[in-house]
Structure 1
Amino acid sequence: MRRRPDRSPGRSARPSGPRRTRAPLSPRHRFRIVVPLVLLAFVASVLLVEGYTTRGFAGDQEGRGGPPATGVPRRITGGGPVVDITGDHQRTYRTPDKTVVLTFDDGPDPTWTPRIRAVLDHYRTPGTFFVTGQQTARHPGVLRRVVRSGHEIGVHTFSHPDLATRSASAVDRELALTQLALAGAAGINTSLMRMPYSSVPSALDDSAWSVARRLGEKGYVLAFIDQDTNDWRRPGARAIADAAIPKVPGRGAVVLLHDAGGDRSQTVEALRTLIPRLKAQGYRFTTLADLVGTDSFTSPVDTADRWSGRIFVAAVTVSGAAVSAVSVLLLVVGSLVLARCVLLLVLARHHARRQRRPDSGRHGPVTRPVSVVVPAYNEELCIAKTLRSLAASDHPVEIIVVDDGSRDGTADIAQSLALANVTVIRRPNGGKPSALNTGVLRASHDIVVMLDADTVFAPSTVGRLVQPFADPSVGAVAGNAKVGNRRRLLGRWQHIEYVMGFNLDRRMYDLLRCLPTIPGAAGAFRAEALRDAGMMSADTLAEDTDITMALHRAGWEVRYAPDALAWTEAPSSLRQLWRQRYRWSYGTMQATWKHRHALFERGHGGHFGRLGLPLLAVFQIFTPLLAPLIDILAVYGLVFGNPRTTALAWSGVLAVQAVCAVYAFHLDGERLRPLWALPLQQVVYRQVMYLVLVQACLTAINGYRLPWQRLKRSGDVMLPPQPSTRRT
């Protein structure tokens, strides 16, 4: 992960050479934009397929009941359990005496269907399996083995709805998807069907009869029952076997059992008793096709239908595997989010208490003057406000403005202010790291404060920022950067992110002695420490993270001063936000990779490598990359699952985030009013950060050198009234 050395990272980055006009997106750019969207679309697609093909059903637990039938012919209601109303004729078929047809609904099931099939095969008894398209698509191998054993197959719709309550188009879709699943799983179609929630023909009402006629027009022979074993109630294997025996001795019967929809161990055990018992009484077992006098209701499909079915079944299989993986990842992400929030709250509270403790007395206050370096490139809208805030500092400062080849009036404005102790250095454009190094080399004092040219300091900021340097082991100190342009919604979102995320994180990292980044908006360095770490480097797009990691590896402590407040200009559009976070994400990855050898070092560098780098990878790369799963699966649960449970779970995640946010705002002395935007901020930011991180990962993988992108300035950073701040 290398980059051009003349490109300057961070928010105040500046290009070298003439400005170029915007060019069309290259194929490589399009690739990095399209891939995240394709990944999101893929996840959404598999969830839709999985949701529709696995939507739960209650099974044939109770036959549906409606008003008394007035339009159902008596020959149907008083006829046999097999109804053929195809074509222009209406006829029914009764079960011959001493004949039993064993039928099984709601399968195939990967656990119980094979066991039932094994019992039937053992006694050489045919069975009729009325399968749903959902189960067939999810378990095609189970159905193929049933077909190979010679058993009869019938349709039981795709998702087991009450067809009498569905529209004609919905009924057609149920049938078409089921036949598609049958074609893909076993290469067959069938014209035998049992409507869900149906029982004996005499129970048909007018609405069910209307559906039955439509099914007959489509060529389906309908199967009803003579006897219901109620095995779904699990009354016991003996009770199930007794219920399957014809009530009138010697009469035949179509018997209803189930091979799916729950624990069917009693059904399996009942078959082991029932079949030998009926055979001993002289009964024979047959299929519904035999009752009608046809060889089979099934027929092979042509090549086109077979491949269409295979594609459909493959899509269901892939979606099932993908959803299983997504569910595991969601569990991981949920655990990480919860663990992170708990860790942040506990450590932030401990950090705040430590900050309020009186000084131990080992080191006195830092009162000596410090140098302040302000790198600037085309910052005429911001530079005056920044320099005036520094000049108002209550700590003695030397201010060095390094104009890095600006093509506007930045340097002239800085000089025209005529502020005391301000030096303006003009130099050709060389990038932000080079400009910072120039300022450090010109500094007169051993402590150097660095800030971006769009950042405003409070009068007390410099003094508070340098106090940790009383400890000679401290090489750098991070300030508390806040969003200064928070009047619009995007600004409020970033304000919440800065207070809730960045500063709570810094408190945690500070307590663990592994702070990974000194923000470019507010940071202070010991000049000796900078030299030990090799000065600012242009190796990555995140020079602030790079130098911080280098300081750890050089043996220096890095601290956080939450009361050293700075207000910086945040991106004012989603496009600008995307560019900024893209650089930050990619730069963080570069810096992490560059300093990966800290994992194996000793001393303070090894402590940072084995604690700070994993925390950074887990909480700033891995977790945000997977966080959109929370929202995607929330939508999935609302559509295909239990909406109430899903809403409660999502609200719980949001509540945990809200607790962290409220406590973070409390620690920083911020008003809670902006938190009304937290729910939408959580949803939108997860998606934006996901897309940014995926794009950054793809950039890192293909080794692309990220070009410079400068953010537009508005100069509307506001310094809040000082009484609103809280020292911790």
Structure 2
Amino acid sequence: MNMSIASIGQALTDFAFYYPLFMAYLWMAGALFYWYRHERGAGKVDQPPAHDEYPSVAVIVPCFNEEAHAEETIGCLMRSKYPNLEVIAVDDGSTDDTGTVLERLAARYPSLRVVRLMRNQGKATALNTAAAMTRAEILVCIDGDALLDPWAVHWLVAHFRWPRVGAVTGNPRVRTRSTLLGRLQVGEFSSTIGLIKRAQRTYGRVFTVSGVVAAFRRSALHDVGYWSTDMLTEDVDISWKLQARHWDVRFEPNALCWILMPETLRGLWKQRLRWAAGGMQVLAKNWRPMQAWRQRRMWPVFAEYLTSAFWAYTMLGLFLVWVLRVVFGVPTPIDGSSLIPRWSGVVIGTTCLVQIAIGMSLDARVEKGLFRYFFWMIWYPLAFWLLSALTTVVGVPRALFRSTGKRARWKSPDRGLLPQDR
């Protein structure tokens, strides 16, 4: 009996160490193939492909307590190079002076329309409200504290020449870099988020668009009923809804958007917990529909997320066994010392650094000077793998036991420290 349990324990230990290793090489291979097929020889960010025509575009900016950032965000949008553009800013019941700032900006910029909701309804409601107030063929959605590159809309719109393209996700770039957590996230967005989106595009389906910058075809949104108001991560949900209806979701690395990210452990925990719970909420919602044969192209993404959740719980279980055996001396059928990485830890650590280097190399074309943050990435496996495991363990039950139909509202996030705040 003990031998059987010990064998299971060793199998779980091997899985805990080698699953991240396998996924890392899968992502690297897919991302490099994507680069070779789609990015090799591509023009500079400020040299987008020429357009035969310029379909109407509405940039939707949902805002909640963005008094400090709204003017910078809207001002950046007004410098966009796209010729047929309107901006719709939605004040979602802010408790600060966001609405006043937006009204003042509307008087300055004729192409800006402001919608004010009397109470906080959540980001999805803000997006749905703005979508109902424009006839634009393409909707570009960004956050109220994000800075969209002047050429980003050109790059996003270029994909909609193909009629089955329903959405295109842009390339978010972190601009809060004053702390170790901020610098780690600079590398994370290249080595993990950008790398994974490239790989997923290679393999067929994208887990999610970036909620901070994404473009949508109006007819595709209408086909799936627009954004769901009860989902913690409306970006994941809309991505799955579109792909379930066989709309294509793409990634555009040249569509840059400069974003603020948490630079405190508390802020980062809250953000990643919402991501973990929201992802599991979408999986639970789509559990039965995804079993249909016509949804088979989504199965790899579905399986990857479930396996990642299982990995998080495996790590927690092995850690508890290690504590019982090594720290407290309690006999266990599993050898707790096997949790301590030896040569396998070196392989995983080296693989992680190779993954980061490849991710930074791919994004170095669109953002210069990325490699000056490479030194800090030695802390990435410890900090973010641990954070990912813990938020998944906490987030899964939170998602599964969340009340059905409960409206998802937002709170002002921790956005880190900008240079002027230091």
TM-score bracket for the superposition, by shorter chain length: 0.7 to 0.9
Q: Offset at 1:673?
A: 2.1
Report the 3-state secondary structure (helix = DSSP H, G, I; strand = E; otherwise coil) of the residue aligned with 2:288. Answer: helix
1:523 maps to which of 214, 219, 222: 214
Would you say the 8 A contact 2:178–2:418 is kept in 1? no
Structure 1 residue 347 and structure 2 residue 30: aligned?
yes
Q: Which amino acid aligns with 1:614?
A: A
Q: Offset at 1:540?
A: 1.6
Report the 3-state secondary structure (helix = DSSP H, G, I; strand = E; otherwise coil) of the residue aligned with 1:672. Answer: helix
Q: Which amino acid aligns with 1:343?
A: L
Structure 1 residue 583 and structure 2 residue 310: aligned?
no
For residues 19 and 202 of structure 2, the distance between their equivalents in structure 1, rounded to whole angstroms, comes to 20
Are residues 556 and 646 of structure 1, via their aligned partners in 2, closer, same or farther at CA, if it must alter by over 3 Å?
closer
**How do 1:246-261 and structure 2 match up within 5 A?**
none
Would you say the 8 A contact 1:437–1:535 is kept in 2? yes
Are residues 424 and 642 of structure 1, via their aligned partners in 2, closer, same or farther at CA, if it must alter by over 3 Å?
closer
2:386 maps to which residue? 687
1:617 maps to which residue? 306
Give the aligned length: 394
Report the 3-state secondary structure (helix = DSSP H, G, I; strand = E; otherwise coil) of the residue aligned with 2:22. Answer: helix
Report the 3-state secondary structure (helix = DSSP H, G, I; strand = E; otherwise coil) of the residue aligned with 2:199. Answer: helix
Would you say the 8 A contact 2:69–2:145 is kept in 1? yes
For residues 478 and 584 of structure 1, the distance between their equivalents in structure 2, rounded to whole angstroms, comes to 17
Q: Which amino acid aligns with 1:443?
A: T
For residues 511 and 630 of structure 1, the distance between their equivalents in structure 2, rounded to whole angstroms, comes to 34
Would you say the 8 A contact 2:262–2:415 is kept in 1? no
Structure 1 residue 557 and structure 2 residue 243: aligned?
no
Q: Offset at 1:633?
A: 10
Q: Offset at 1:661?
A: 0.4
Q: Which amino acid aligns with 2:13?
A: L
Pair member with larger Rg: 1
Would you say the 8 A contact 1:381–1:713 is kept in 2? no
2:14 maps to which residue? 331
Would you say the 8 A contact 1:634–1:647 is kept in 2? no
Q: Which amino acid aligns with 2:96?
A: D
Are residues 495 and 626 of structure 1, via their aligned partners in 2, closer, same or farther at CA, if it must alter by over 3 Å?
farther
Q: Offset at 1:412?
A: 1.6
Structure 1 residue 572 and structure 2 residue 270: aligned?
no
Q: Offset at 1:445?
A: 1.1
2:111 maps to which of 414, 417, 421: 421
1:546 maps to which residue? 237
Q: Deviations over 1:336-361 (max 9, x none)?
A: 222211111111111011213689xx
Are residues 370 and 701 of structure 1, via their aligned partners in 2, closer, same or farther at CA, if it must alter by over 3 Å?
closer
1:469 maps to which of 141, 160, 173: 160
Q: Deviations over 1:258-287 (max 9, x none)?
A: xxxxxxxxxxxxxxxxxxxxxxxxxxxxxx
Report the 3-state secondary structure (helix = DSSP H, G, I; strand = E; otherwise coil) of the residue aligned with 2:67. Answer: coil
Q: Which amino acid aligns with 1:379?
A: E
2:285 maps to which of 583, 594, 611: 594
Q: Offset at 1:689?
A: 2.1
Q: Offset at 1:616?
A: 2.6
Q: Offset at 1:532?
A: 0.4
Are residues 641 and 375 of structure 1, via their aligned partners in 2, closer, same or farther at CA, if it must alter by over 3 Å?
closer
1:272 maps to which residue? none
Would you say the 8 A contact 1:404–1:427 is kept in 2? yes
**How do 1:2-81 and structure 2 match up within 5 A?**
none
Report the 3-state secondary structure (helix = DSSP H, G, I; strand = E; otherwise coil) of the residue aligned with 1:448. Answer: strand
For residues 65 and 178 of structure 2, the distance between their equivalents in structure 1, rounded to whole angstroms, comes to 24
For residues 297 and 176 of structure 2, the distance between their equivalents in structure 1, rounded to whole angstroms, comes to 37
Are residues 641 and 691 of structure 1, via their aligned partners in 2, closer, same or farther at CA, if it must alter by over 3 Å?
closer
Under a length normalisation based on structure 1, what TM-score does the superposition of the two structures give?
Answer: 0.50
Are residues 400 and 632 of structure 1, via their aligned partners in 2, closer, same or farther at CA, if it must alter by over 3 Å?
same
For residues 9 and 304 of structure 2, the distance between their equivalents in structure 1, rounded to whole angstroms, comes to 22
Q: Offset at 1:572?
A: 2.1
Q: Offset at 1:566?
A: 1.0
For residues 633 and 493 of structure 1, the distance between their equivalents in structure 2, rounded to whole angstroms, comes to 30
Q: Which amino acid aligns with 1:427?
A: L
Report the 3-state secondary structure (helix = DSSP H, G, I; strand = E; otherwise coil) of the residue aligned with 2:65. Answer: coil
Structure 1 residue 434 and structure 2 residue 125: aligned?
yes
2:330 maps to which residue? none
1:384 maps to which of 64, 67, 71: 71
Q: Offset at 1:631?
A: 8.6
Give RMSD over aligned pairs: 3.1
2:329 maps to which residue? none
For residues 634 and 502 of structure 1, the distance between their equivalents in structure 2, rounded to whole angstroms, comes to 31
Structure 1: 5+ residue runs without aligned partners? 1-138, 140-316, 719-728
1:678 maps to which residue? 377
Q: Offset at 1:711?
A: 3.9
Structure 1 residue 493 and structure 2 residue 180: aligned?
no
Q: Deviations over 1:616-643 (max 9, x none)?
A: 3224x23344457899999999xx9999
For residues 674 and 622 of structure 1, the distance between their equivalents in structure 2, rounded to whole angstroms, comes to 31
Q: Deviations over 1:74-96 (max 9, x none)?
A: xxxxxxxxxxxxxxxxxxxxxxx
For residues 180 and 319 of structure 2, the distance between their equivalents in structure 1, rounded to whole angstroms, comes to 21
For residues 227 and 26 of structure 2, the distance between their equivalents in structure 1, rounded to whole angstroms, comes to 32
Report the 3-state secondary structure (helix = DSSP H, G, I; strand = E; otherwise coil) of the residue aligned with 2:62. Answer: strand
2:411 maps to which residue? 710
2:297 maps to which residue? 607
2:358 maps to which residue? 663
For residues 125 and 175 of structure 2, the distance between their equivalents in structure 1, rounded to whole angstroms, comes to 27
Q: Which amino acid aligns with 1:660?
A: Q
Would you say the 8 A contact 2:261–2:414 is kept in 1? no
Are residues 692 and 709 of structure 1, via their aligned partners in 2, closer, same or farther at CA, if it must alter by over 3 Å?
farther
**How do 1:136-215 and structure 2 match up within 5 A?**
none
Q: Which amino acid aligns with 2:97?
A: G
Structure 1 residue 398 and structure 2 residue 83: aligned?
no
1:250 maps to which residue? none
Q: Deviations over 1:664-695 (max 9, x none)?
A: 00000152221222232211222222221111
For residues 689 and 510 of structure 1, the distance between their equivalents in structure 2, rounded to whole angstroms, comes to 23
Q: Offset at 1:368?
A: 2.8
Q: Deviations over 1:562-616 (max 9, x none)?
A: 111111111121111111111111111111111223433354x4422x2221123
